Amino acid sequence: MAEKKIARQHVIAKLLTGAVYFDDEGYWQVLLDDKPTLLPYFADMGVRLEVDTEMGMGFLRPMNQAEEEEFALGGYAPLPKIIPPKILGYLPSVMCALLREALQRHEENSVDTTHLYLDEGQLVELLRPYLSETSAEKALKREVKKVIARVEEISVLHRLLNRSEVIYRVEPIIRARIPLAHLQELLTRLKDLGKAGAAGEEAGDNGDKESA
């Protein structure tokens, strides 16, 4: 049976749900070939197609505030958002922020490779300080696997196939999702949320003890 080809429509659908990377077989070449016509196609929807050949990725971004204001100056009503904000929850948000921080350190210090690769154990250790200390190790690892799966859904982590061990690549789209200028503010906010949650749990535990 002949191998199925990737069409322009496949690339459009993939961009609307995530990102296209250099090792997405078939997709990447179609993206590069059709970029001149895809740019105005997505611009008509009010989003911008970004293609970074150095990092090997293509993704859509919403109009920024300046672009929205320029559009409104023409007397037009605001455009519907075709890229809705992704609600991750606390732990997936923490992992994304920590991965962004790890990627920045990697880019500053590594001379061997542009991409950052982490195994499952490293991801567990990355998130461990934000998880309950009372959790059993098996339960903790199950929790981290759930977080990893959620972060994979938004194309920030990509599991490498055909490997004897579980290895993930931190996708460079995270640089667009979490600009470096906002990273420390995000980490501080997430830490404060974590402390507030822990304080709430402690208060709940004390309340239970008092009522017993």
- What is the model's pLDDT at position 123? 94
Please, which pLDDT band fits residue 204 given cuts at 50, 70 and 90? very low
Average pLDDT over residues 165-184: 83
For the chain, give the DSSP string.
-PPPPPPHHHHHHHHHHS-EETTSTTHHHHHHHHHHHHHHHHHTTTEEEEEETTTTEEEEEE--HHHHHHHHHTTPPPPP-SSPPP---HHHHHHHHHHHHHHHHHHHH-SS-SSEEEEHHHHHHHHGGGS-TTS-HHHHHHHHHHHHHHHHHTTSEEEPSS-SS-EEEE-THHHHHS-HHHHHHHHHHHHHHHHHHHHHHHHHHHHHHHH-
Q: What is the mean pLDDT of the chain?
A: 82
pLDDT in tens, 48-97: 999 988 878 899 988 888 888 888 898 989 888 877 666 678 888 889 98
- What is the model's pLDDT at position 81? 81
- What is the model's pLDDT at position 3? 75
Choice between 178 and 53, residue whose per-residue pLDDT is larger: 53
pLDDT in tens, 109-122: 876 667 899 999 99
pTM of the model: 0.67
